[in-house]
Structure 1
Protein backbone atom coordinates (compact mmCIF):
# COMPACT_ATOMS: atom_id res chain seq x y z
CA UNK A 1 0.00 0.00 0.00
CA UNK A 2 1.37 3.40 -0.98
CA UNK A 3 0.65 6.60 0.94
CA UNK A 4 2.37 8.81 -1.61
CA UNK A 5 -0.72 10.78 -2.66
CA UNK A 6 -1.52 11.78 0.93
CA UNK A 7 2.13 12.47 1.66
CA UNK A 8 2.57 14.80 -1.32
CA UNK A 9 -0.39 16.86 -0.15
CA UNK A 10 0.82 16.71 3.45
CA UNK A 11 4.30 17.99 2.55
CA UNK A 12 2.86 20.74 0.36
CA UNK A 13 0.52 21.89 3.13
CA UNK A 14 3.34 21.78 5.67
CA UNK A 15 5.33 24.09 3.41
CA UNK A 16 2.33 26.38 2.99
CA UNK A 17 2.44 26.19 -0.82
CA UNK A 18 -0.28 26.13 -3.44
CA UNK A 19 -0.22 23.37 -6.04
CA UNK A 20 1.26 25.81 -8.57
CA UNK A 21 3.99 26.95 -6.15
CA UNK A 22 4.76 23.37 -5.14
CA UNK A 23 5.00 22.35 -8.81
CA UNK A 24 7.41 25.19 -9.53
CA UNK A 25 9.68 24.20 -6.64
CA UNK A 26 9.89 20.59 -7.81
CA UNK A 27 9.89 21.35 -11.54
CA UNK A 28 6.61 19.47 -11.91
CA UNK A 29 3.48 20.72 -13.64
CA UNK A 30 0.45 21.89 -11.65
CA UNK A 31 -1.66 19.20 -13.33
CA UNK A 32 0.84 16.54 -12.21
CA UNK A 33 0.62 17.70 -8.59
CA UNK A 34 -3.18 17.49 -8.78
CA UNK A 35 -3.09 14.04 -10.37
CA UNK A 36 -0.64 12.71 -7.73
CA UNK A 37 -2.63 14.12 -4.81
CA UNK A 38 -5.89 12.71 -6.17
CA UNK A 39 -4.34 9.30 -6.83
CA UNK A 40 -4.98 9.45 -10.57
CA UNK A 41 -1.29 9.04 -11.31
CA UNK A 42 1.89 7.92 -9.55
CA UNK A 43 5.13 9.95 -9.72
CA UNK A 44 8.09 8.46 -11.58
CA UNK A 45 11.25 7.50 -9.70
CA UNK A 46 12.92 10.74 -10.89
CA UNK A 47 10.10 12.79 -9.41
CA UNK A 48 10.19 10.77 -6.18
CA UNK A 49 13.91 11.50 -5.90
CA UNK A 50 13.24 15.24 -6.28
CA UNK A 51 10.49 15.08 -3.66
CA UNK A 52 12.77 13.10 -1.33
CA UNK A 53 15.60 15.63 -1.73
CA UNK A 54 13.22 18.55 -1.19
CA UNK A 55 11.52 17.13 1.91
CA UNK A 56 14.72 15.43 3.18
CA UNK A 57 12.77 12.24 3.76
CA UNK A 58 13.85 8.84 2.30
CA UNK A 59 11.76 7.53 -0.58
CA UNK A 60 10.74 4.35 1.27
CA UNK A 61 9.31 6.48 4.09
CA UNK A 62 7.39 8.60 1.57
CA UNK A 63 5.89 5.52 -0.09
CA UNK A 64 5.27 3.22 2.88
CA UNK A 65 4.28 5.55 5.76
CA UNK A 66 1.41 7.96 6.32
CA UNK A 67 3.09 11.23 7.29
CA UNK A 68 -0.22 12.65 8.45
CA UNK A 69 0.21 10.56 11.58
CA UNK A 70 3.49 12.29 12.39
CA UNK A 71 1.73 14.18 15.15
CA UNK A 72 2.64 11.21 17.38
CA UNK A 73 6.07 10.86 15.80
CA UNK A 74 9.19 12.93 15.47
CA UNK A 75 11.72 13.23 12.71
CA UNK A 76 15.44 12.90 13.36
CA UNK A 77 18.34 14.00 11.18
CA UNK A 78 20.44 11.13 9.78
CA UNK A 79 23.08 12.55 7.48
CA UNK A 80 21.25 15.04 5.28
CA UNK A 81 17.88 13.31 5.51
CA UNK A 82 15.14 13.00 8.09
CA UNK A 83 13.73 9.66 9.12
CA UNK A 84 10.56 8.85 11.01
CA UNK A 85 11.31 8.24 14.66
CA UNK A 86 8.09 7.24 16.40
CA UNK A 87 7.64 8.12 20.06
CA UNK A 88 5.12 5.55 21.22
CA UNK A 89 2.74 6.38 24.04
CA UNK A 90 0.23 4.39 26.07
CA UNK A 91 -3.43 5.41 26.63
CA UNK A 92 -2.26 7.68 29.47
CA UNK A 93 0.07 9.49 27.02
CA UNK A 94 3.18 8.16 28.76
CA UNK A 95 6.17 7.18 26.65
CA UNK A 96 6.75 3.50 25.95
CA UNK A 97 10.23 2.01 25.66
CA UNK A 98 11.00 -0.43 22.86
CA UNK A 99 13.06 -3.40 23.99
CA UNK A 100 15.58 -4.86 21.54
CA UNK A 101 15.73 -8.56 22.56
CA UNK A 102 18.96 -10.52 22.41
CA UNK A 103 17.73 -12.65 19.52
CA UNK A 104 16.81 -9.58 17.49
CA UNK A 105 19.90 -7.49 18.25
CA UNK A 106 21.76 -8.80 15.19
CA UNK A 107 18.94 -7.58 12.95
CA UNK A 108 18.76 -4.16 14.57
CA UNK A 109 21.44 -2.81 12.23
CA UNK A 110 19.24 -3.44 9.21
CA UNK A 111 15.96 -2.49 10.89
CA UNK A 112 16.82 0.45 13.13
CA UNK A 113 15.33 3.01 10.69
CA UNK A 114 12.38 0.85 9.63
CA UNK A 115 9.20 1.91 11.49
CA UNK A 116 7.63 -1.50 10.87
CA UNK A 117 10.60 -3.27 12.49
CA UNK A 118 10.54 -0.94 15.50
CA UNK A 119 6.77 -1.30 15.84
CA UNK A 120 7.17 -5.08 16.30
CA UNK A 121 9.53 -4.72 19.27
CA UNK A 122 8.20 -5.39 22.76
CA UNK A 123 7.41 -2.33 24.87
CA UNK A 124 7.77 -1.49 28.55
CA UNK A 125 6.98 1.59 30.62
CA UNK A 126 9.31 3.09 33.22
CA UNK A 127 7.68 6.26 34.53
CA UNK A 128 10.77 7.42 36.47
CA UNK A 129 12.85 8.08 33.34
CA UNK A 130 13.72 11.66 32.36
CA UNK A 131 12.15 13.25 29.29
CA UNK A 132 13.31 12.09 25.88
CA UNK A 133 13.12 9.03 23.66
CA UNK A 134 14.43 5.86 25.34
CA UNK A 135 15.16 2.34 24.13
CA UNK A 136 16.43 -0.81 25.89
CA UNK A 137 19.40 -2.76 24.50
CA UNK A 138 20.83 -6.16 25.52
CA UNK A 139 24.40 -6.33 26.81
CA UNK A 140 26.71 -9.10 25.65
CA UNK A 141 30.08 -10.07 27.04
CA UNK A 142 32.11 -8.68 29.94
CA UNK A 143 33.77 -5.60 28.43
CA UNK A 144 31.76 -3.25 30.65
CA UNK A 145 32.08 -4.87 34.08
CA UNK A 146 30.34 -4.97 36.44
CA UNK A 147 27.54 -4.89 33.84
CA UNK A 148 26.47 -8.52 33.61
CA UNK A 149 26.07 -10.39 30.34
CA UNK A 150 22.35 -10.53 29.59
CA UNK A 151 21.57 -7.23 31.28
CA UNK A 152 19.75 -4.43 29.49
CA UNK A 153 20.90 -0.83 29.20
CA UNK A 154 18.20 1.78 28.73
CA UNK A 155 19.50 4.76 26.82
CA UNK A 156 18.18 8.19 25.87
CA UNK A 157 18.43 8.98 22.17
CA UNK A 158 21.04 11.63 21.36
CA UNK A 159 20.33 13.48 18.13
CA UNK A 160 22.77 16.39 18.48
CA UNK A 161 26.32 15.04 18.44
CA UNK A 162 27.40 18.13 20.36
CA UNK A 163 25.65 16.58 23.39
CA UNK A 164 28.15 13.70 23.57
CA UNK A 165 29.96 13.96 26.90
CA UNK A 166 33.41 12.53 27.49
CA UNK A 167 33.41 9.91 30.23
CA UNK A 168 29.77 8.89 29.89
CA UNK A 169 28.62 5.51 28.56
CA UNK A 170 26.57 5.07 25.40
CA UNK A 171 24.97 2.37 23.30
CA UNK A 172 26.20 3.01 19.77
CA UNK A 173 24.89 1.57 16.54
CA UNK A 174 27.89 1.58 14.23
CA UNK A 175 28.27 0.95 10.53
CA UNK A 176 31.00 -1.72 10.83
CA UNK A 177 30.89 -2.99 14.42
CA UNK A 178 27.15 -3.28 14.89
CA UNK A 179 25.75 -2.44 18.32
CA UNK A 180 28.23 -1.75 21.13
CA UNK A 181 28.07 -0.36 24.65
CA UNK A 182 31.15 1.66 25.60
CA UNK A 183 32.48 4.59 27.57
CA UNK A 184 33.13 7.44 25.17
CA UNK A 185 35.75 10.14 24.73
CA UNK A 186 34.49 12.88 22.42
CA UNK A 187 37.23 13.67 19.88
CA UNK A 188 34.94 15.15 17.24
CA UNK A 189 36.57 18.59 17.36
CA UNK A 190 40.04 17.01 17.29
CA UNK A 191 39.80 14.37 14.53
CA UNK A 192 36.06 13.88 13.91
CA UNK A 193 35.97 10.59 15.85
CA UNK A 194 34.93 8.99 19.13
CA UNK A 195 37.28 6.93 21.30
CA UNK A 196 35.40 3.90 22.61
CA UNK A 197 36.68 2.53 25.91
CA UNK A 198 35.82 -0.62 27.86
CA UNK A 199 35.64 -0.51 31.66
CA UNK A 200 37.23 -3.97 31.62
CA UNK A 201 40.80 -3.01 30.69
CA UNK A 202 41.43 -6.44 29.20
CA UNK A 203 39.79 -4.91 26.11
CA UNK A 204 41.63 -2.34 24.02
CA UNK A 205 40.28 1.12 23.32
CA UNK A 206 39.60 2.01 19.71
CA UNK A 207 38.47 5.00 17.68
CA UNK A 208 35.56 5.19 15.28
CA UNK A 209 34.77 8.01 12.81
CA UNK A 210 31.67 9.90 13.86
CA UNK A 211 30.26 9.38 10.35
CA UNK A 212 30.10 5.63 11.08
CA UNK A 213 27.86 6.16 14.12
CA UNK A 214 24.27 5.57 13.00
CA UNK A 215 22.59 5.94 16.38
CA UNK A 216 23.71 7.05 19.83
CA UNK A 217 21.91 6.36 23.13
CA UNK A 218 23.16 7.83 26.41
CA UNK A 219 22.97 5.54 29.46
CA UNK A 220 19.98 6.26 31.68
CA UNK A 221 19.68 3.08 33.74
CA UNK A 222 20.27 -0.67 33.55
CA UNK A 223 18.20 -3.75 34.29
CA UNK A 224 19.89 -6.93 35.50
CA UNK A 225 18.11 -10.10 34.47
CA UNK A 226 20.21 -12.31 36.76
CA UNK A 227 21.31 -11.96 40.35
CA UNK A 228 25.03 -11.55 41.08
CA UNK A 229 26.62 -14.35 43.06
CA UNK A 230 28.90 -13.59 45.97
CA UNK A 231 31.88 -14.84 43.96
CA UNK A 232 31.05 -12.59 41.02
CA UNK A 233 30.81 -9.57 43.25
CA UNK A 234 34.17 -10.39 44.77
CA UNK A 235 35.71 -10.96 41.35
CA UNK A 236 34.30 -7.68 40.08
CA UNK A 237 35.77 -5.85 43.06
CA UNK A 238 39.18 -7.45 42.52
CA UNK A 239 39.21 -6.59 38.82
CA UNK A 240 38.24 -3.01 39.58
CA UNK A 241 40.98 -2.75 42.20
CA UNK A 242 43.65 -4.06 39.82
CA UNK A 243 42.44 -1.81 37.01
CA UNK A 244 42.71 1.21 39.27
CA UNK A 245 46.10 0.03 40.50
CA UNK A 246 47.27 -0.34 36.90
CA UNK A 247 46.29 3.24 36.15
CA UNK A 248 48.16 4.48 39.22
CA UNK A 249 51.27 2.49 38.29
CA UNK A 250 51.23 3.89 34.76
CA UNK A 251 50.95 7.41 36.13
CA UNK A 252 53.82 6.73 38.56
CA UNK A 253 55.94 5.29 35.72
CA UNK A 254 55.42 8.41 33.63
CA UNK A 255 56.36 10.69 36.53
CA UNK A 256 59.60 8.73 37.16
CA UNK A 257 60.60 8.98 33.50
Structure 2
Protein backbone atom coordinates (compact mmCIF):
# COMPACT_ATOMS: atom_id res chain seq x y z
CA UNK A 1 0.00 0.00 0.00
CA UNK A 2 1.45 3.40 -1.02
CA UNK A 3 1.32 6.73 0.80
CA UNK A 4 -0.27 8.36 -2.25
CA UNK A 5 -3.68 8.92 -0.65
CA UNK A 6 -2.33 10.51 2.55
CA UNK A 7 0.06 12.69 0.55
CA UNK A 8 -2.50 14.14 -1.83
CA UNK A 9 -4.75 14.89 1.17
CA UNK A 10 -1.78 16.74 2.72
CA UNK A 11 -1.15 18.60 -0.55
CA UNK A 12 -4.78 19.70 -0.64
CA UNK A 13 -4.45 21.00 2.92
CA UNK A 14 -1.29 22.98 2.13
CA UNK A 15 -2.82 24.37 -1.06
CA UNK A 16 -6.26 24.94 0.56
CA UNK A 17 -8.04 22.98 -2.18
CA UNK A 18 -11.31 21.12 -1.82
CA UNK A 19 -11.60 17.58 -3.17
CA UNK A 20 -13.66 18.94 -6.07
CA UNK A 21 -11.14 21.65 -6.96
CA UNK A 22 -8.21 19.23 -6.75
CA UNK A 23 -10.02 16.63 -8.84
CA UNK A 24 -10.82 19.17 -11.57
CA UNK A 25 -7.14 20.05 -11.87
CA UNK A 26 -6.41 16.53 -13.11
CA UNK A 27 -9.71 15.66 -14.82
CA UNK A 28 -10.72 13.27 -12.04
CA UNK A 29 -14.10 12.64 -10.44
CA UNK A 30 -14.49 13.72 -6.83
CA UNK A 31 -15.48 10.19 -5.84
CA UNK A 32 -12.37 8.78 -7.50
CA UNK A 33 -10.15 11.22 -5.61
CA UNK A 34 -11.93 10.31 -2.35
CA UNK A 35 -11.21 6.64 -3.02
CA UNK A 36 -7.51 7.43 -3.52
CA UNK A 37 -7.33 9.38 -0.25
CA UNK A 38 -9.09 6.63 1.72
CA UNK A 39 -6.89 3.90 0.25
CA UNK A 40 -9.83 2.12 -1.39
CA UNK A 41 -8.33 2.49 -4.84
CA UNK A 42 -4.90 2.99 -6.40
CA UNK A 43 -4.39 5.58 -9.18
CA UNK A 44 -3.18 4.89 -12.68
CA UNK A 45 0.49 5.61 -13.36
CA UNK A 46 -0.51 8.45 -15.71
CA UNK A 47 -2.36 10.18 -12.84
CA UNK A 48 0.59 9.75 -10.48
CA UNK A 49 3.00 11.26 -13.04
CA UNK A 50 0.65 14.18 -13.75
CA UNK A 51 0.26 15.11 -10.05
CA UNK A 52 3.96 14.65 -9.26
CA UNK A 53 4.96 16.81 -12.23
CA UNK A 54 2.42 19.53 -11.41
CA UNK A 55 3.78 19.98 -7.88
CA UNK A 56 7.43 19.12 -8.73
CA UNK A 57 7.45 16.24 -6.23
CA UNK A 58 9.58 13.15 -6.97
CA UNK A 59 7.32 10.18 -7.75
CA UNK A 60 9.22 8.00 -5.30
CA UNK A 61 8.57 10.50 -2.46
CA UNK A 62 4.90 10.76 -3.40
CA UNK A 63 4.42 7.00 -3.21
CA UNK A 64 6.83 5.65 -0.59
CA UNK A 65 6.86 8.12 2.32
CA UNK A 66 4.43 10.29 4.24
CA UNK A 67 5.29 13.88 3.35
CA UNK A 68 5.22 16.53 6.07
CA UNK A 69 3.95 20.07 5.57
CA UNK A 70 7.48 21.44 5.98
CA UNK A 71 8.83 19.10 3.33
CA UNK A 72 6.03 19.94 0.93
CA UNK A 73 6.75 23.64 1.26
CA UNK A 74 10.37 23.03 0.22
CA UNK A 75 9.32 21.63 -3.15
CA UNK A 76 9.23 24.06 -6.05
CA UNK A 77 6.31 24.39 -8.38
CA UNK A 78 2.79 25.38 -7.42
CA UNK A 79 2.71 24.46 -3.72
CA UNK A 80 3.46 28.04 -2.59
CA UNK A 81 0.51 30.35 -2.95
CA UNK A 82 0.58 33.14 -5.54
CA UNK A 83 0.57 35.71 -2.73
CA UNK A 84 3.73 34.19 -1.22
CA UNK A 85 5.49 34.30 -4.58
CA UNK A 86 4.44 37.92 -5.09
CA UNK A 87 5.92 38.97 -1.74
CA UNK A 88 9.22 37.30 -2.60
CA UNK A 89 9.36 39.13 -5.92
CA UNK A 90 8.82 42.54 -4.31
CA UNK A 91 11.79 42.46 -1.93
CA UNK A 92 15.16 43.65 -3.17
CA UNK A 93 18.43 42.53 -1.58
CA UNK A 94 20.55 45.57 -0.74
CA UNK A 95 24.26 45.04 0.05
CA UNK A 96 25.12 46.95 3.22
CA UNK A 97 28.39 48.63 4.18
CA UNK A 98 29.08 48.18 7.89
CA UNK A 99 32.05 48.92 10.13
CA UNK A 100 33.54 45.44 9.63
CA UNK A 101 33.64 45.58 5.83
CA UNK A 102 34.05 49.31 5.12
CA UNK A 103 37.83 49.15 4.57
CA UNK A 104 37.49 46.18 2.25
CA UNK A 105 34.75 47.99 0.35
CA UNK A 106 37.20 50.73 -0.60
CA UNK A 107 39.35 48.06 -2.27
CA UNK A 108 36.70 45.81 -3.78
CA UNK A 109 33.67 48.08 -4.36
CA UNK A 110 33.67 47.12 -8.06
CA UNK A 111 34.16 43.37 -7.54
CA UNK A 112 30.95 41.41 -8.06
CA UNK A 113 32.02 38.48 -5.88
CA UNK A 114 32.78 40.78 -2.94
CA UNK A 115 29.42 42.54 -3.28
CA UNK A 116 27.64 39.16 -3.24
CA UNK A 117 29.28 38.26 0.09
CA UNK A 118 28.24 41.50 1.82
CA UNK A 119 25.44 41.41 4.43
CA UNK A 120 22.14 42.40 2.87
CA UNK A 121 18.97 44.25 3.79
CA UNK A 122 15.74 43.02 2.20
CA UNK A 123 13.30 45.81 1.39
CA UNK A 124 10.24 46.14 -0.90
CA UNK A 125 12.02 48.38 -3.43
CA UNK A 126 12.35 48.26 -7.20
CA UNK A 127 14.76 45.40 -7.88
CA UNK A 128 15.79 46.94 -11.21
CA UNK A 129 17.49 49.83 -9.40
CA UNK A 130 20.90 49.50 -7.79
CA UNK A 131 20.99 50.34 -4.06
CA UNK A 132 23.59 50.35 -1.34
CA UNK A 133 23.07 50.38 2.43
CA UNK A 134 25.42 52.17 4.81
CA UNK A 135 25.55 52.09 8.61
CA UNK A 136 26.46 55.50 10.01
CA UNK A 137 29.52 55.30 12.31
CA UNK A 138 30.22 58.95 13.22
CA UNK A 139 28.60 62.26 14.18
CA UNK A 140 29.51 64.22 11.05
CA UNK A 141 25.89 64.49 9.90
CA UNK A 142 24.49 65.47 13.30
CA UNK A 143 23.81 68.91 14.73
CA UNK A 144 22.20 69.85 18.07
CA UNK A 145 20.73 66.37 18.60
CA UNK A 146 19.29 66.31 15.08
CA UNK A 147 20.43 64.53 11.95
CA UNK A 148 22.15 61.16 11.64
CA UNK A 149 23.85 59.28 14.46
CA UNK A 150 25.92 56.08 14.75
CA UNK A 151 23.92 52.92 13.99
CA UNK A 152 21.41 54.79 11.83
CA UNK A 153 21.15 53.14 8.40
CA UNK A 154 20.85 55.00 5.11
CA UNK A 155 19.92 53.54 1.71
CA UNK A 156 21.38 55.13 -1.40
CA UNK A 157 20.50 54.73 -5.08
CA UNK A 158 23.41 54.50 -7.51
CA UNK A 159 24.21 57.66 -9.47
CA UNK A 160 26.06 57.20 -12.80
CA UNK A 161 28.99 59.59 -13.28
CA UNK A 162 27.26 61.39 -16.14
CA UNK A 163 24.42 62.29 -13.74
CA UNK A 164 26.55 63.84 -10.99
CA UNK A 165 26.01 67.40 -12.18
CA UNK A 166 22.24 66.87 -12.35
CA UNK A 167 21.98 66.34 -8.59
CA UNK A 168 20.59 69.23 -6.57
CA UNK A 169 23.08 71.08 -4.39
CA UNK A 170 22.62 69.92 -0.81
CA UNK A 171 21.67 66.35 -1.78
CA UNK A 172 22.70 63.80 0.83
CA UNK A 173 25.11 61.35 -0.77
CA UNK A 174 27.46 58.52 0.06
CA UNK A 175 30.68 58.98 -1.91
CA UNK A 176 33.50 56.49 -2.39
CA UNK A 177 36.87 58.20 -2.74
CA UNK A 178 40.29 56.58 -3.01
CA UNK A 179 40.79 56.06 0.71
CA UNK A 180 37.51 56.97 2.40
CA UNK A 181 33.75 56.60 2.47
CA UNK A 182 32.04 59.96 2.94
CA UNK A 183 28.42 60.62 3.90
CA UNK A 184 27.84 64.35 3.34
CA UNK A 185 25.84 67.05 1.61
CA UNK A 186 26.93 67.43 -2.03
CA UNK A 187 27.81 70.68 -3.80
CA UNK A 188 29.31 70.68 -7.30
CA UNK A 189 31.11 73.66 -8.81
CA UNK A 190 32.77 73.26 -12.21
CA UNK A 191 34.82 70.04 -11.95
CA UNK A 192 34.99 70.09 -8.15
CA UNK A 193 32.94 68.13 -5.65
CA UNK A 194 32.44 69.74 -2.25
CA UNK A 195 31.19 67.48 0.56
CA UNK A 196 29.89 69.27 3.65
CA UNK A 197 29.01 67.86 7.06
CA UNK A 198 26.15 69.05 9.27
CA UNK A 199 28.43 69.20 12.33
CA UNK A 200 29.90 72.69 12.57
CA UNK A 201 33.34 71.48 13.67
CA UNK A 202 33.91 69.21 10.67
CA UNK A 203 35.78 70.68 7.71
CA UNK A 204 34.41 70.17 4.22
CA UNK A 205 36.09 67.79 1.78
CA UNK A 206 36.92 68.87 -1.76
CA UNK A 207 37.69 66.45 -4.58
CA UNK A 208 37.66 66.39 -8.36
CA UNK A 209 34.93 64.56 -10.23
CA UNK A 210 37.54 62.07 -11.46
CA UNK A 211 38.45 61.18 -7.86
CA UNK A 212 34.91 59.96 -7.15
CA UNK A 213 34.81 56.16 -7.51
CA UNK A 214 31.12 55.75 -6.71
CA UNK A 215 28.22 57.95 -5.65
CA UNK A 216 24.93 56.93 -4.04
CA UNK A 217 22.09 59.43 -3.52
CA UNK A 218 20.48 58.79 -0.15
CA UNK A 219 16.76 58.17 -0.53
CA UNK A 220 15.82 56.27 2.67
CA UNK A 221 16.89 56.55 6.31
CA UNK A 222 16.28 54.11 9.17
CA UNK A 223 16.87 55.64 12.59
CA UNK A 224 18.38 53.51 15.34
CA UNK A 225 16.77 55.75 17.93
CA UNK A 226 13.41 57.48 18.08
CA UNK A 227 13.63 61.24 17.47
CA UNK A 228 12.75 63.42 20.48
CA UNK A 229 8.96 63.69 20.83
CA UNK A 230 8.93 67.47 20.58
CA UNK A 231 11.18 67.63 17.51
CA UNK A 232 8.49 67.19 14.88
CA UNK A 233 6.19 69.67 16.63
CA UNK A 234 9.00 72.23 16.86
CA UNK A 235 9.69 71.94 13.12
CA UNK A 236 5.99 72.35 12.28
CA UNK A 237 5.69 75.45 14.45
CA UNK A 238 8.76 76.98 12.82
CA UNK A 239 7.31 76.25 9.38
CA UNK A 240 3.95 77.85 10.31
CA UNK A 241 5.72 80.89 11.71
CA UNK A 242 7.62 81.40 8.46
CA UNK A 243 4.46 80.97 6.40
CA UNK A 244 2.68 83.59 8.53
CA UNK A 245 5.57 85.99 7.95
CA UNK A 246 5.21 85.52 4.20
CA UNK A 247 1.47 86.24 4.38
CA UNK A 248 2.04 89.39 6.48
CA UNK A 249 4.65 90.68 4.03
CA UNK A 250 2.11 90.42 1.18
CA UNK A 251 -0.66 92.30 3.04
- Normalising by structure 2, report the TM-score: 0.50
SS in 2 for 1:182: strand
Cα distance in 1 between the residues matched to 2:93 and 2:121: 6
Cα distance in 2 between the residues matched to 1:211 and 1:114: 19
> Where in structure 2 are the equivalents of 1:51-70 lying within 5 Å?
none
1:111 aligns with 2:108: yes
Cα distance in 1 between the residues matched to 2:224 and 2:209: 32
Q: Aligned-pair distance for 1:224?
A: 2.0
Q: Aligned-pair distance for 1:227?
A: 4.2
> Where in structure 2 are the equivalents of 1:57-96 lying within 5 Å?
92=89, 94-96=91-93
Q: Aligned-pair distance for 1:164?
A: 2.7
Match of 1:184 among 176, 183, 186: 186
Aligned residues of 1:105 and 1:138 also touching (Cα < 8 A): no
Q: Please, which runs of 5 or more residues in structure 1 have no aligned partner?
A: 1-89, 242-257
- Normalising by structure 1, report the TM-score: 0.49
Aligned residues of 1:139 and 1:148 also touching (Cα < 8 A): yes
Aligned residues of 1:172 and 1:180 also touching (Cα < 8 A): yes
Cα distance in 1 between the residues matched to 2:222 and 2:99: 14
Q: Aligned-pair distance for 1:150?
A: 1.7
- Cross-structure match for 1:210: 209
Aligned residues of 2:155 and 2:218 also touching (Cα < 8 A): yes
Cα displacement string for residues 157-201 of structure 1 (whole angstroms, at most 9, x for unaligned residues): 00132333211110000013x1010001111xx2x1111111112
- Cross-structure match for 2:200: 201
Q: Aligned-pair distance for 1:154?
A: 0.5
Cα distance in 2 between the residues matched to 1:198 and 1:210: 19
SS in 1 for 2:210: helix
Cα distance in 2 between the residues matched to 1:124 and 1:200: 28
Q: Please, which runs of 5 or more residues in structure 2 have no aligned partner?
A: 1-86, 239-251
Cα distance in 2 between the residues matched to 1:197 and 1:229: 25
Q: Aligned-pair distance for 1:138?
A: 1.5
- Cross-structure match for 1:165: 168
SS in 2 for 1:184: strand
SS in 2 for 1:96: strand
1:142 aligns with 2:143: no
**Cα RMSD over matched residues?**
2.8
1:101 aligns with 2:98: yes
Cα distance in 1 between the residues matched to 2:128 and 2:149: 26
SS in 1 for 2:168: coil
